[in-house]
Structure 1
Amino acid sequence: MTAAQTEPQRVALPDDGRLVAVTNPQDVLVWPSLSEDSPYADGIAGLGAGDVVIDVGAHIGLTALYFTDKIPGVRVLAFEPARRTNACLADNAARLMPGVRVFDVALGAEPGTAELTFLPNHTMMATIVSDDADDDRNMTAVLRNFGVDGEASEQFWREFREGAERYEVRVSTLAEVLDEEGITDVGLLKIDVERGELPVLRGLRAEQWAGVRRVVAEVHAVDGNLDAVVELLHAQGFSTKVFQEDVFVGGSVHIVSAARPGA
């Protein structure tokens, strides 16, 4: 006999009330900063119904929800390979986000498979490019910037990697996705994949770049990654703006916002 499927936990968005499926209640804490002072605001400027947004590293779908709230009729392709997180993303898309399609694959430079590291207590950090030292540096910065110290800080580190999971996921490329979906124009390519940003960008073929109007990527400045991403975007004709959100000051995480002239 097959066990009954249980619905994911749902939590109300702050100052919003909509119930969203979450991996942890803390997932919704980013909503006010995302909806009110979004790093993606420039990226969606000028987009309208029917435009395509590619959301790579969609997590539970809060960024996709922001996109569909701001642009009625937008078409979003949301990619999230972590199993539990993808289940929440699919639930949220079905109930709250018309026009969002969910994919349970990672994106990279080449198709194949990769090992994903999943931290149940910090599911936003799921990645196929694991780097414990970089994670520690960024979380140290976050705790400091939020003024967390003493016993609370000690508890955080005790629980940080508790129950860590590692399992194989399928990897596709942006080139394959655009071919399979018949997409030649991308209004916004959004990337948040914990150090896997450059491989995602390298997964586009040269002739496909002309159809990408804007890119907004969270990029980790490790191993020359930030400079390489900016150089690649410049080579493809984008102007770029690089900034760091207050929460990550002292860490490696930066936002790269790129647009074509006149976009």
Structure 2
Amino acid sequence: MTAAPPEPQRVALPDGRLVAVTNPQDVLVWPSLNEDSPYADGIAGLRAGDIVVDVGAHIGLTALHFTDQVPGVRVLAFEPARRTHACLADNAARLMPGVRVFAAALGAEPGTAELTFLPNHTMMATIVSDDADDERNMAAVLDNFGVDDDTREQFWREFREGAERYPVPVRTLADVLDTEGVTDVGLLKIDVERGELPVLRGLRAEQWTGIRRVVAEVHAVDGNLDAVVELLHAQGFSTKVFQEDVFAGGSVHIVSAVRPGA
């Protein structure tokens, strides 16, 4: 007889709600979501009943933020990493009745891809691996937090400890919208560690008019940032690009895009 999987570890948010986490550090992003949210422009155009597509949902804190800020919003949340998806599903079932979860990555073409998963840094799970970019961004974070030398040494020793690689299913956003019968997306949120452009390229031309706002974390490597902005401009969006203080000196930027009239 197969044993039941263990209950996920849960950590309390400041308001007392318990969220399932891959690591206790997962909840460290919660204050930044509520105090100076990088998704503020995207949330501004949402109303009850709107659909948010959350690509790279991790454990669901962004989805929880969206449903807190706009009661009645519906979220389709995609997270391919097994351990992280289990936490996302647990959190959605207990805390977010308007959120549906999917165990898949999104890309330009359907199929499978190898996911790289770092147990000590699960927010960095990706199907577009780039060790040099990861290390550049983490070095920037350590610098910006003023981390001392001993802590840095321990950080780098443990950074890739227990790294896992395994295949995950990949769907296209076009297929998702078709299957779910969605023609209007209030917000497309993307946070997939260098896989942003393939997600956007997974839409068909005629589906773009149904996307009202996009907020994407984009890594400025291999021309990726310029390509994302150019694609969004070509689809009729106005864009704003900024970098959060924590990533100053790294490649991570936020691209916020709004369709005129949205």
1:6 corresponding residue in structure 2:
6
Q: How many Å apart are 1:50 and its aligned residue?
A: 0.8
Kept in 1, the 8 Å contact 2:220–2:251? The answer is: yes
Q: How many Å apart are 1:200 and its aligned residue?
A: 0.1
1:112 corresponding residue in structure 2:
111
Dislocated runs of 4+, deviation >3 Å: none
For residues 96-127 of structure 1, the C-alpha deviation after alignment (integer angstroms, 9 at most, x for no partner) is: 01210000000000000000000000000000
Aligned partners of 1:156 and 1:255: how far apart in 2?
A: 25
**Structural mapping, 1:116-195, within 5 Å:** 116-195=115-194
Q: Which amino acid aligns with 1:46?
A: G
Of stretches 191-200 and 15-24 in structure 1, the one that deviates more from structure 2 is 15-24
Aligned partners of 1:84 and 1:166: how far apart in 2?
A: 13
Aligned partners of 1:56 and 1:5: how far apart in 2?
A: 26
Aligned partners of 1:33 and 1:194: how far apart in 2?
A: 19
Q: Give TM-score scaled by structure 1 length.
A: 0.99
2:43 corresponding residue in structure 1:
44
Q: How many Å apart are 1:49 and its aligned residue?
A: 1.1
Aligned partners of 2:67 and 2:153: how far apart in 1?
A: 39
Aligned partners of 1:4 and 1:87: how far apart in 2?
A: 13
Kept in 2, the 8 Å contact 1:68–1:98? The answer is: no
SS at match of 1:193: coil
Q: Which amino acid aligns with 2:96?
A: M
**Structural mapping, 1:82-97, within 5 Å:** 82-97=81-96
Of stretches 37-46 and 199-208 in structure 1, the one that deviates more from structure 2 is 37-46
Q: Which amino acid aligns with 2:2?
A: T
Q: How many Å apart are 1:262 and its aligned residue?
A: 2.0
1:18 corresponding residue in structure 2:
17
Query: Which ranges in structure 1 are unaligned for 5 or more consecutive residues?
Result: none
Aligned partners of 1:109 and 1:230: how far apart in 2?
A: 17
Q: How many Å apart are 1:245 and its aligned residue?
A: 0.0
Aligned partners of 2:6 and 2:166: how far apart in 1?
A: 22
Kept in 2, the 8 Å contact 1:215–1:257? The answer is: yes
Provide the alpha-carbon RMSD of the alignment. 0.6
Q: Which amino acid aligns with 2:226?
A: D
Aligned partners of 2:74 and 2:136: how far apart in 1?
A: 36
Kept in 2, the 8 Å contact 1:237–1:260? The answer is: yes
1:201 corresponding residue in structure 2:
200
Identical pairs, percent: 89
Aligned partners of 1:240 and 1:48: how far apart in 2?
A: 21
Query: Which ranges in structure 2 are unaligned for 5 or more consecutive residues?
Result: none
Of stretches 126-135 and 37-46 in structure 1, the one that deviates more from structure 2 is 37-46
Aligned partners of 1:225 and 1:30: how far apart in 2?
A: 25
Kept in 1, the 8 Å contact 2:45–2:186? The answer is: no
* 1:78 partnered with 2:77: yes
Aligned partners of 2:199 and 2:85: how far apart in 1?
A: 19
Aligned partners of 1:155 and 1:201: how far apart in 2?
A: 37
Q: Which amino acid aligns with 2:239?
A: T
Aligned partners of 2:178 and 2:215: how far apart in 1?
A: 22
For residues 73-94 of structure 1, the C-alpha deviation after alignment (integer angstroms, 9 at most, x for no partner) is: 1110000000000000000000
SS at match of 2:4: coil
Aligned partners of 1:17 and 1:25: how far apart in 2?
A: 15
Q: How many residues align?
A: 262
Q: Which amino acid aligns with 1:256?
A: V
1:213 corresponding residue in structure 2:
212
Q: How many Å apart are 1:149 and its aligned residue?
A: 2.3
For residues 207-242 of structure 1, the C-alpha deviation after alignment (integer angstroms, 9 at most, x for no partner) is: 000000000000000000000000000000000000
Q: How many Å apart are 1:5 and its aligned residue?
A: 2.2
Kept in 1, the 8 Å contact 2:136–2:250? The answer is: yes
